[in-house]
């Protein structure tokens, strides 16, 4: 990361929300530095954020691009515990690991770590996540803080490193098919018909739970 990119990156709120059109704040900063993106694409930063980027780049201040969203108060994700089915999809979507829980267990949000990025909302299959306004009428950087941005960046960095390590573990080199027959069978035996039936039943149970949750959601007063 060159000096200009680093300065631009430091001026962003680090919500990692992707509303700028880039996968994270670092990518957006790099795009601005290379002249590939405008300075008015960050809704969480709002007008003050645009001014910060203008001061660094020397570019004229622009109104926030409505295609990227609108400036608003800070939101924190709230999970309706009564509707959560423990699918873990929101945990995987959270860029700061602010959601804790396990498979088929209720999840919850650690408020100080939530950036209000909203990435957990569209992945929830039972629509049990909403945003709660925690800054009142304060918007943009007025609803945020440098301390919060620093915390978010630290957690996102750790999150990215963890995903990279997990990916490295999973990306194992496939065995040579010509040698496979010569190797002794020391792992799990081949799946039997009964194992397949168990997997199918489990899948049916999950699908039924999703269907019930959606139906109950529709009839909720």
Q: Which parts of the chain fold into alpha helices (H)?
A: 3-10, 25-33, 46-57, 89-93, 146-170, 177-180, 193-219
pLDDT digits (tens, 9 = 90+) for 58-115: 999 999 999 999 999 999 999 998 889 899 999 999 999 999 887 777 789 999 999 9
Average pLDDT of the residues of the chain: 83
**210 located within any domain:** no
Instruction: Tell me the CATH number at 112.
Output: 3.30.70.20
Contact 116, 75 (CB under 8 A): yes
* DSSP state letter for 190: P
pLDDT digits (tens, 9 = 90+) for 131-162: 999 999 999 999 999 999 999 999 999 999 98
**131 located within any domain:** yes
**189 located within any domain:** no
Torsion sign (Cα): 75, 80, 81, 86: negative
Res 178: pLDDT: 43
214/191 Cα distance (integer angstroms):
33
Q: Of the residues 23, 47, 68, which one is the last residue of a structural domain?
A: 68
Which tokens sit at 216?
């109950």
Instruction: Tell me the CATH number at 35.
Output: 1.10.15.40
Q: Are residues 57 and 84 in the same domain?
A: no
Q: Of the residues 19, 36, 68, which one is the last residue of a structural domain?
A: 68
Q: Are residues 8 and 63 in the same domain?
A: yes
* Domain containing residue 30: 3-68
- Within 8 A by CB and 6+ apart from 164, the residues are none
SS3 205: helix
Buried b (16+ CB within 10 A) or exposed e, 16-35: bbbbbebebbbbbbbbbbee
**27 located within any domain:** yes
User: How does residue 191 score in pLDDT terms, banded at 50, 70 and 90?
Assistant: very low
Q: Are residues 98 and 129 in the same domain?
A: yes
**44 located within any domain:** yes
Res 33: pLDDT: 97
Q: Are residues 62 and 89 in the same domain?
A: no
Contact 28, 57 (CB under 8 A): no
Q: Total structural domains in the chain? A: 2
User: How does residue 215 score in pLDDT terms, banded at 50, 70 and 90?
Assistant: low
Which tokens sit at 10?
């430091």
């Amino acid at each position: 990361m060159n000096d200009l990119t680093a300065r631009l990156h430091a001026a962003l709120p680090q919500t990692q929300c992707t509303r700028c059109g880039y996968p994270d704040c670092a990518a957006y900063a790099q795009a601005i530095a290379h002249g590939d993106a405008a300075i008015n694409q960050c809704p969480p930063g709002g007008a003050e954020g645009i001014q910060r980027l203008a001061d660094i780049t020397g570019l004229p201040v622009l109104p926030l691009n409505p295609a990227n969203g609108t400036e608003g108060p800070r939101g924190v994700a709230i999970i309706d515990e009564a509707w959560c089915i423990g699918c873990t999809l929101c945990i995987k979507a959270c860029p700061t690991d602010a959601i804790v829980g396990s498979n088929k267990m209720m999840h919850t949000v650690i408020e100080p770590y939530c950036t209000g990025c909203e990435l957990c909302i569209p992945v929830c299959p039972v629509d049990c996540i909403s945003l709660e306004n925690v800054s009142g009428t304060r918007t943009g950087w007025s609803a945020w803080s440098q301390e919060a941005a620093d915390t978010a960046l630290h957690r996102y960095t750790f999150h990215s490193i963890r995903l990279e390590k997990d990916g490295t573990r999973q990306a194992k080199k496939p065995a040579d098919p010509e040698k496979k027959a010569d190797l002794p069978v020391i792992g799990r035996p081949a799946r039997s018909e009964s194992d397949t039936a168990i997997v199918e039943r489990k899948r049916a149970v999950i699908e039924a739970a999703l269907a019930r949750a959606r139906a109950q959601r529709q009839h909720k007063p």
